[in-house]
Structure 1
């Protein structure tokens, strides 16, 4: 629910710049966009807050432990990053070839390619240390403040060596674990507004975010960064799919609450932000 308050002069100016009917239709989204902009005076307190985090040991400790693990799930290790290097086409060629592919053939994806999709999109690739002694692990794709708010849940249909089902990528241990088994193709087509391409995919990646991981540092503006982070990661998946002979397509039309219930998340502390189908 949106909190009612008196609009700022900037927000009022923004409202007046749109045709009244369009402003009424999109008022909440446009108000947020305007309200979350940085300005020299308006954002001074935000900048001070961000700077002070470097001295907040408790928050730094929290920020460096952003790894979701299901204790009851048996995870299977993925190959280490050094063992996945090589092969594929060049980055330049992958960029030239990349398209949103909306027709798949239930092609089986080699397990190594599946592993690369995860490791080279959001796996750990380095680390940095704070003065407190805490270590922040760095990932394959960029993230605002190195906070990494995202989680990846692959829904596997046709991947070598894996049973169909819903999985979770355990970034900390570089492993995948099955959360629930079964063929969820009919279910995903239904919740993805009857987009049949989902049924023929090798795997569908459901990507969620923990907003507080980013909001604690960047406040309101941090909500923008969740979607930027998801876009960075998704582009890696696009290029990796292209490099290894597969296609990918982001799925914008999905029933968020139904996906979140399927994942067993509350939609608030952890919320759906992106879906991507990958297949051959």
Structure 2
């Protein structure tokens, strides 16, 4: 094997002989020499190494044309128009195409085969200028992610706009680079270093474990943070409608699925507005209360008022993309309002125990599940998380209908869900405080346990938040 760095225009970019075509957007290159044009044609046709490109330039422009070519090539890399790969020579005598990467194994001289084993790809926005290979031992960063993208094993580091695709032959390098190694070819290390996939420092200076800025991050948390807060590192940022050509948008209301329903009284908002404490007073009084008045539990009227004031649907509309949208008391990105609340009742005057769903459009409760082992597990978990001495009177399970958000949004879809959970938490806290109820938001929950109790598919609708709710004990008044 003789690994060599080769280059070509990235996908969607080609040279017509007169200008660059960036996916239908022409870019004119001024004062191109014949040699530069020949080299650009080679980059447009496929992977070429520096020797091949230089030969094309010198054949038409002479040796003096190389400096101008190198300046043009660097500019193309700085603009992210070129991608690089590692090509190796083997003794296979036939041409073939790798079914995994789609890269061609070209027949070379004397019956050898040229195979692309690794490719540096632009997945966001930025430069593709190659970094040098590390001088000493190298290993993969502990933050490097490996996943399958379009049938190809792909590595990417959090916040980076480049990724490295590996052919099956090169996949074993991942094991080699799990620890500090000197056995990986320098051209492949250059691609990995350019994509930020190698650990900084060295065996004696492993800053990923010794420096707080690196050590404090869990790899999954950093990947999530970087993907959703670094637009240049990913495509599909914002309202891209990634599923719009395959699925219709989900309706604003889930289908009725309750065993039976309980109508909730509609509170008099004018009377409430006249009697409510001021916003400043509510904000100052707001706190988490981890105890309930078990002798005088919360009532149907109180639960209904809290739900009505916090998340009833006040109206519907249709977006320009055809998606049904909603208006509720709390904000939601794009007005998608994907959150549903499931009151899990153990003690509420006027509401039988069980798992209920709040229908925001009809202001009523639908019984989803009778009390049983599955609902008891959810109650026990909430009791432990809130550090209650007795079972909570009501657990408000906040679930997300993910398709409502993911049909429209791509990179920012799940972060939007979490932001919505936060504003709903605060809304419930403030309304419950104004009503003199006890409320406590929980930091975690079990979406699998909710799926068991509710029968919901957790990939379509799963819990993303929980709060415990009840009457406020006298001493907490």
TM-score computed with the length of structure 1 as normaliser: 0.81
For residues 372 and 238 of structure 2, the distance between their equivalents in structure 1, rounded to whole angstroms, comes to 48
In the superposition, relative to structure 1, how do residues 198 and 222 fare at CA in structure 2: closer, same or farther (>3 Å)? farther
In the superposition, relative to structure 1, how do residues 216 and 91 fare at CA in structure 2: closer, same or farther (>3 Å)? same
Match of 1:191 among 375, 381, 386: 381
Q: Which has the larger Rg?
A: 2
In the superposition, relative to structure 1, how do residues 171 and 103 fare at CA in structure 2: closer, same or farther (>3 Å)? same
Is the 2:344–2:356 Cα contact (8 Å) retained in structure 1?
yes
Deviates more, 1:94-103 or 1:198-207: 198-207
Residues 1:174 and 2:363 are matched in the alignment? yes
The structure where strand makes up a greater share of residues is: 2
Report how far residue 274 of structure 1 moved: 0.5
Structure 2: stretches of 5+ with no match in the other structure: 1-144, 149-153, 161-195, 473-477
- Counterpart of 1:78 in structure 2 is 264
In the superposition, relative to structure 1, how do residues 212 and 134 fare at CA in structure 2: closer, same or farther (>3 Å)? closer
Report how far residue 201 of structure 1 moved: 2.6
For residues 121 and 112 of structure 1, the distance between their equivalents in structure 2, rounded to whole angstroms, comes to 14
For residues 132 and 221 of structure 1, the distance between their equivalents in structure 2, rounded to whole angstroms, comes to 18
For residues 219 and 74 of structure 1, the distance between their equivalents in structure 2, rounded to whole angstroms, comes to 37
In the superposition, relative to structure 1, how do residues 214 and 84 fare at CA in structure 2: closer, same or farther (>3 Å)? farther
Report how far residue 263 of structure 1 moved: 2.2
Match of 2:249 among 62, 86, 105: 62
- Counterpart of 1:91 in structure 2 is 279
Is the 1:201–1:277 Cα contact (8 Å) retained in structure 2?
yes
Deviates more, 1:8-17 or 1:25-34: 8-17
In the superposition, relative to structure 1, how do residues 48 and 277 fare at CA in structure 2: closer, same or farther (>3 Å)? closer
Is the 1:165–1:180 Cα contact (8 Å) retained in structure 2?
yes
Match of 2:308 among 119, 122, 139: 119
1:33-63 C-alpha deviation (Å, 9 max, x unpaired): 1022253x5567535736x99xx7998x735
Higher relative contact order (CA 8 A, sep 6+): 1
Residues 1:3 and 2:147 are matched in the alignment? yes
For residues 366 and 158 of structure 2, the distance between their equivalents in structure 1, rounded to whole angstroms, comes to 51
Query: What secondary structure is seen at the aligned counterpart in 2 of 1:3?
Result: strand
Question: After TM superposition, which residue ranges in structure 1, 4 or more long, deviate above 6 angstroms?
Answer: 56-59
Report how far residue 82 of structure 1 moved: 5.1
Is the 2:312–2:363 Cα contact (8 Å) retained in structure 1?
yes
In the superposition, relative to structure 1, how do residues 42 and 254 fare at CA in structure 2: closer, same or farther (>3 Å)? closer
Report how far residue 98 of structure 1 moved: 0.4
For residues 3 and 256 of structure 1, the distance between their equivalents in structure 2, rounded to whole angstroms, comes to 24
Match of 1:240 among 431, 437, 444: 431
Report how far residue 248 of structure 1 moved: 0.8
- Counterpart of 1:220 in structure 2 is 411
Match of 1:33 among 187, 212, 225: 225
Is the 1:110–1:159 Cα contact (8 Å) retained in structure 2?
yes
For residues 9 and 275 of structure 1, the distance between their equivalents in structure 2, rounded to whole angstroms, comes to 29
Query: What secondary structure is seen at the aligned counterpart in 2 of 1:166?
Result: strand
The structure where helix makes up a greater share of residues is: 1
1:163-214 C-alpha deviation (Å, 9 max, x unpaired): 1111111122221122223377853353347345283432110111122211
Is the 1:15–1:23 Cα contact (8 Å) retained in structure 2?
no
Report how far residue 120 of structure 1 moved: 1.8
Report 1:103-118 matches (<5 A): 103-106=291-294, 107-118=296-307
Is the 2:326–2:337 Cα contact (8 Å) retained in structure 1?
no
In the superposition, relative to structure 1, how do residues 36 and 13 fare at CA in structure 2: closer, same or farther (>3 Å)? farther
Report how far residue 134 of structure 1 moved: 7.3
Query: What secondary structure is seen at the aligned counterpart in 1 of 2:396?
Result: strand
For residues 197 and 174 of structure 1, the distance between their equivalents in structure 2, rounded to whole angstroms, comes to 29
Is the 1:193–1:254 Cα contact (8 Å) retained in structure 2?
no
Is the 1:77–1:174 Cα contact (8 Å) retained in structure 2?
yes
Structure 1: stretches of 5+ with no match in the other structure: none
- Counterpart of 1:230 in structure 2 is 421
